[in-house]
Structure 1
Amino acid sequence: MKIVPVAYLSSYLLSLLGNSIAAVALPLIVLQVTGSALSAGIVAAATAVPAVLAGLFMGVVIDRINRRTSSVVTDLVSAASVAALPIIDMITGLSVGWFVLFGIVGSLGDVPGMTARDALLPAIVRHGSLASERLVGIRESLGAGALLLGPAAAGTLMAVFDGSTLLWVTATTSLIAALLTLLIPNSVGKIAESPATVSNSWQQLREGWRVLFGSTFLLATTMLTVASVIVLAALQGLILPVYFTLAEQPGRLGFVLTALAAGTLVGGAVYAVTGTRVRRRTWFVTGLAGITFGFALIATLSSVCVVFGGAFAVGLASGSFGSLLGVLMLERIPDDMRGRVMGTQNAVLTAAPSVGILGAALLTQYGSVNVAAIVLTGVWLVAVVVFARSLLGNLEPENEQTTNDKTAVAIDA
């Protein structure tokens, strides 16, 4: 494998691993410093809105500058925002205000950094001599591996380091990710000149929205992804914690999340190896069926073993289905608008978990945890019925579709 995809994938892994560790460690550090659960909630809420806005508006910047440069800069911003906390802790001590301030600064690196890497992916495919299916499948597996290792690493680091000291580790992962991206030649990240560069930022952002919301294909794939994130976030963040608490087995929750991540890792790896050998329609249908089956199993909440099986099934199907959607997005989004379109998608996906958890909380409060699980599975089914149909006939590569169209015209003539 050439250095370009190796550097890209290694950088992606380290960046996501650092974020995964921080997602677990930061709330615990806030609790240690302030002794208040409310403070942890304030920090999370105060940084959520800037993260969404950064995802929306930084896409314009990513479409204007070299995408390799934007990936490096966003990782450096993330590293600096995390490293600032232990430095402040040593000098004056931390407070809620410091967590909020650097959480907002970090939001300028996290979601835009995700978008920058997504926007860089087509160039990595072109320069890496790898099929897009293989590269995206490997990336999906690495992402699942990072999410699998992150919580365990965070727990270990919390036991080894005192307080905010462990944040040096997450800052280091972002810094190394930036250095690895520098191994990618600068020419790989260059953006072809287009007339859009002369318009103002607001016009460019609206152009990106027009492409996303004006395309039935892109809108349908985005909404399917949003629906899956809403349901998964509700299951992980509220329904399963309540279920295991009521069953007096709270420790089992971690194993369920491990089963989900392990399934995703396997699914992504299978797609990386066999993605080009199986028709996309087959991947699409089996992915949707597997996710639906897994959600339905979890929604029964009939036993711990059934929930484990459902979680693994969802992960396994999501690994291949998510990889397929990644390839489709890579092919269908215009390169000069990739930052704006993907920035909007990532901003929506950043907000989606809160929607899912809030909805599940209301359903559990005024109904029951079983009602919440069933209703959310219904949300996924509605999304499949509404959006999947418009995608089934539009899954093959555009060049293959063009060839088929020409053949049909010749036959008609």
Structure 2
Amino acid sequence: MRRPYITLLSANALSVTGNMLSILAVPWFVLETTGSAVLTGVASFATTFPMVISAAFGSTLVDWLGYRAASVLSDLISGLIVLAVPALFLTTGLSYPLLLLLLFLRWLTATPGETARKAMLPDLATAAGVRIERATAAYDGVCRGSAMVGAPLAGVLILWIGPSMLLLVDGVSFLLSALLVAAGVRRTARGERDPGGYLNDLRAGLTFLWQDRLQLSATAMVVVVNLLDTGVTQVLLALYARDVVGDPRAFGLLTGALGAGAVLGTIVYGAAGARLPMRLTYGLCFFLAGVPRVLVLALGAPFPVALAVTALSGFAAGGINPILGILQYGRIPAPLRARVIGAMTAAAYAGMPIGGLLAGSLTALTGLGATLLAFTGVYAVISLPPFFCRAWRELDLDRSPGEQQ
């Protein structure tokens, strides 16, 4: 049956759209109310640090609860927390410390839902008769498409209704996602419990990841890229839109162009990826996804040029997550799926809290242009391992991981 599979993709689209609205609304809200790049970086830290904690320690609970129940509960709680932000701001008032606390709790509770939906995908795709290669591309394409729509929409809505009311829309999107999964996705089996309890189950996921050299290496690479992406998306683009372009819509358009290019890249990879060398494709996509779009901003190119280059970088990024998804679903045993994916997610998120703080602090010390150039250099260096490191040769051996499940 395809209905549960389509419902899962739809629910994830709502959740990702809401996340994108929040990602753009929060830094603009902080800049608008404080005028401080450093405080904007601190707010970014409050957004990303709980994602690391939740992904690391909550994924085992996702296995225990079952993927469907965990997804619904996560979206329901996080949606209510998000709704509290505009409610407090418009009534009793919202202090900066309280905003940080709500941001922390919002992302602490939202991340298990993301893990649960991703863990459900292989079973629902199999039931729908969809190959795992196409399912991972479709899942990533939906995420990219939601980002593409959500980012420019957020830029417009910031001007129209303000960042605080934009968070209201974010909260509603989470509640709708919970409703869709509860009503349209069948109950899934729980992961196996170790008689030794929670810590043994948590250790099992970490041990599996540690022993898989390829996935461990890929995860380490993503750690650095996510650190950079967080600093760019949540701090540097907001400052670029305010100080260089002078229009919040530029913030949304650049983020949306990245998403639009990535949607097209995901579609192209889904159609032609089987004929491409995975290792070289992965390395080239990483380089093109990071370096050009930040370098063009650092060089002060006209905004239309920056927009076009960002879209091209997004196109390259479209092939990254489907390849990672194929590796995960082909190599991770089903009973360990949520906890291993959670461990990888936690590791991948580990640098994100630092990214926002680093971007805000470095900009305050050296200026926006110098910070963008520094980020460009790190993007270039982190793209090199797939071309030179021995562990990455295994990537070309995982040509048909869907058959290994």
- Length-normalised TM-score, structure 2: 0.83
Match of 2:94, SS state, is coil
Structure 1 residue aligned with 2:316: 317
What is the match of residue 397 of structure 2?
A: 394
Deviates more, 1:355-364 or 1:137-146: 355-364
Match of 1:213 in 2: 210
The 1-side partners of 2:27 and 2:119 are apart by: 30
The reply on whether 1:375 has 2:373 as its aligned counterpart is no
Equivalence for 1:5: 5
Deviation at 1:284, TM superposition (A): 4.1
- Is 1:292–2:287 an aligned residue pair? yes
Query: Are residues 1:56 and 2:56 paired?
Result: yes
The 1:383/1:306 distance shift into structure 2, 3 A limit, reads farther
The answer for the alignment partner of 2:103 in structure 1 is 103
Structure 1 counterpart SS, 2:183: coil
Give the 3-state SS of the residue equivalent to 1:146 in structure 2.
helix
Q: In the TM superposition, what is the alpha-carbon distance from 1:233 to its structure 2 partner?
A: 3.8
Q: Partners in 2 of 1:167 and 1:242 — Cα distance? A: 20
CA contact (8 A) 2:72 2:181 kept: yes
Distance, in Å, in 2 between the alignment partners of 1:396 and 1:213 is 22
Give per-residue Cα distances to partners, 1:176-205, cap 9 Å, x unaligned. Answer: 101111234433x2125x3x4322212211
- What does residue 71 of structure 2 align with? 71
1:171-320 to 2 correspondences below 5 Å: 171-187=171-187, 189-191=188-190, 194=192, 196-236=193-233, 248-249=244-245, 255-275=253-273, 278-279=274-275, 282-293=277-288, 295-298=290-293, 301=296, 303-304=301-302, 307-308=306-307, 310-320=309-319
Distance (Å, rounded) in 2 between the aligned partners of 1:374 and 1:156: 28
Return the offset for 1:97.
Answer: 3.9
User: Residue 230 of structure 1 contacts residue 356 of structure 1 at CA under 8 Å; is this kept in 2?
Assistant: yes
Secondary structure (helix, strand or coil) at the match of 1:17 reads helix
Aligned residue identity for 2:284: A
Q: Distance in 2 between matches of 1:207 and 1:221?
A: 19
Per-residue deviation at 1:64? 0.8
In the other structure, the counterpart of 2:20 is 20
Deviates more, 1:305-314 or 1:202-211: 305-314
Taking every aligned residue pair, what percent have the same amino acid on both sides?
27
Give the counterpart letter for 1:15 in structure 2.
S
Q: What RMSD over aligned residues (CA atoms) do the two structures have, in Å? A: 3.4
Higher relative contact order (CA closer than 8 Å, sequence separation 6+): 2
Taking structure 1 as reference, are residues 199 and 85 closer, same or farther at Cα in structure 2, changes over 3 Å only?
Answer: same
What CA distance in whole angstroms lies between the structure 2 residues aligned with 1:258 and 1:312?
A: 8
Equivalent residue runs for 1:402-413 within 5 Å: none
Equivalent residues in 2 for 1:99-178 (5 A)?
99-161=99-161, 164-178=164-178
Structure with greater Cα Rg: 1
Q: TM-score, normalised by structure 1?
A: 0.82
What one-letter code is carried by the residue in structure 1 that aligns with 2:335?
D
Equivalents in 2 of 1:293, 1:75: separation in Å?
Answer: 34
Comparing 206-215 with 379-388, which one deviates more in the overlay? 379-388
**Distance in 2 (alpha carbons) for counterparts of 1:30 and 1:235:** 16
Q: Distance in 2 between matches of 1:307 and 1:105?
A: 35
SS in 1 for 2:379: helix
Superposed displacement of residue 294, structure 1: 5.2
Q: How many residues align?
A: 395
Give the Cα separation in 2 of the matches to 1:210 and 1:398.
21
Q: Is the 8 A contact 2:86 2:168 kept in 1?
A: yes
Q: Any gaps of 5 or more consecutive residues in structure 1?
A: 403-413
Q: 2:130 and 2:95 mapped to 1: Cα distance?
A: 48
Q: CA deviation at 1:76?
A: 0.3
Q: What per-residue deviation string (whole Å, max 9, x for no partner) do you get for residues 113-141 of structure 1?
A: 21111111122222222111222212222
> Is the Cα–Cα contact under 8 Å of residues 287 and 317 in structure 1 kept in the other structure?
no
Distance 1:257 1:213, change over 3 A: same
SS in structure 2 of the partner of residue 63 of structure 1: helix
> Kindly tell me: are residues 331 and 101 of structure 1, through their superposed partners in 2, closer, same or farther at Cα, counting changes over 3 Å?
same
| Alpha-carbon contact 1:133-1:271 (below 8 Å) kept | no
